[in-house]
Structure 1
């Protein structure tokens, strides 16, 4: 048999042996239903713990530079909107009620926001200031980011990357990667914050984020105005947010198609 085929077959067998099929979230009203394949050696708790360390380093560095904002009206605004969204997260994922959620605002011109594994949120003031975001639009961003964490898109991407490496080099490659906890922690930070998401993952985060915002009492139509603002901001030099959240021409049409599914949830939340 061809050597490449042998290695590929070995890698595929190892990948299947080391993977488990999981459903990280319920489908919700928006109907996000897709089985995900995760390496069993990369448990949710391990990934969350490693990312938490990276997150604390980022927050600590911001604090030492005097750019961590904990007291302004903007910081309180981000915290309040986040809290309302976090309260709805268990609808999709019950165990997220036990996550150690954190929310921090960093003073920076950067147009960016992120929610990493385990519910670690960072929002940059540049996104609020330059795009003049409404509360509903902030909720659309935060809902989208929280959705990535709930769906464990970072852990899923790591599992796929390890599978590809195994297919190339055999089992030793995986164990080699796993030997250095620092290297593994760096990988968690990389996949949790800095690497672009696939179009499929982006669509899932859009839909779940839309429903989270609606359930929390934020107008889901704001997702449309948000992405129109993002598109306009990208005409010059694309903002950092767009490098990790690539836009597609179908994004707005997909959101528009899903809005009728979540409007009753929004209306119900507003009537209480």
Structure 2
């Protein structure tokens, strides 16, 4: 590394998580993002068919989209591809404690996580930042590459992706996205990057402490399904607190939201 690059690296404010995995490059980003978009649209279609997709006028959907508008501009420095992503944010009327961001910027929250945890805007931003971080750091792409390398050897990945045409490839990838579980390292990295995204967007990074306190209370100390591989409770809170000094200055200097939304009311009947 040149002295200029070294100086730039040391001068950067925020969290430190290193480079993205080189292994992820064995799977084309374009195909993973296309598979994510395809799978996302199928899920939204199914939700709409069950009258479970929140309409544009839904106040909680408006809330989610306003928070996303502040977080998305912070994404590009973490992954230049994010600038061309066709971002979407939707809300599904389901009691599940769940949220996700598919590769390519496809975000969804389930109503249960808003209502059961009585999330503040800062806590919503913490979750959204975490999920967006998974997409930015290309954790799904990396896990797919590792899976294929384990099964067939890295030298055969390219030929595997060519079998059956692009349509079959995207369908196969979409199925993997639904069943994918991230490693503890992935989850910890998403915590840190997500905390920085939220802080730069003007949301209090200390919300991670209150969020995971609430999560522990509703799940009796066990992580919910959407983060089943991540250490829960006191361990997670300690990690967040240890990294707060790295992002508190970013939050202090960030423009703050001018509008705040109330916590979610009870889940509406369908």
Query: Scaled by the length of structure 2, what TM-score is found?
Result: 0.82
- Count of aligned pairs: 243
1:212 corresponds in structure 2 to 197
1:90 corresponds in structure 2 to 76
Cα distance in 1 between the residues matched to 2:17 and 2:156: 35
Residue 68 of structure 1 aligns to a residue whose secondary structure is coil
Q: Does 1:189 align with 2:174?
A: yes
Tell me, yes or no, if the aligned pair for 1:116 and 1:193 is still in contact at 8 Å. Answer: no
Residue 254 of structure 2 aligns to a residue whose secondary structure is helix
Q: CA RMSD in A?
A: 2.4
Tell me, yes or no, if the aligned pair for 1:165 and 1:174 is still in contact at 8 Å. Answer: no
Residue 23 of structure 2 aligns to a residue whose secondary structure is strand
Cα distance in 1 between the residues matched to 2:184 and 2:75: 22
Q: Structure 2: any 5+ residue segments left out of the alignment?
A: 1-11, 258-270
Tell me, yes or no, if the aligned pair for 1:165 and 1:173 is still in contact at 8 Å. Answer: no
1:1-272 equivalences in 2 (<5 Å): 29-38=14-23, 40=25, 42-70=27-55, 71-167=57-153, 175-176=159-160, 178-180=162-164, 181=166, 184-235=169-220, 239-243=224-228, 245-248=229-232, 250-270=235-255
Residue 87 of structure 1 aligns to a residue whose secondary structure is helix
Shift of 1:37: 2.3
Shift of 1:129: 0.4
Cα distance in 2 between the residues matched to 1:234 and 1:186: 33
Shift of 1:34: 3.3
Cα distance in 2 between the residues matched to 1:53 and 1:216: 29
Tell me, yes or no, if the aligned pair for 1:154 and 1:188 is still in contact at 8 Å. Answer: no
Query: Scaled by the length of structure 1, what TM-score is found?
Result: 0.81
Tell me, yes or no, if the aligned pair for 2:52 and 2:92 is still in contact at 8 Å. Answer: yes
Cα distance in 2 between the residues matched to 1:79 and 1:214: 17
Cα distance in 2 between the residues matched to 1:49 and 1:116: 10
**Over residues 215-271 of structure 1, what are the superposed CA-to-partner deviations in whole Å (9 max), with x where a residue is unaligned?**
00000000111111112222288643233x533453221111111110111010147
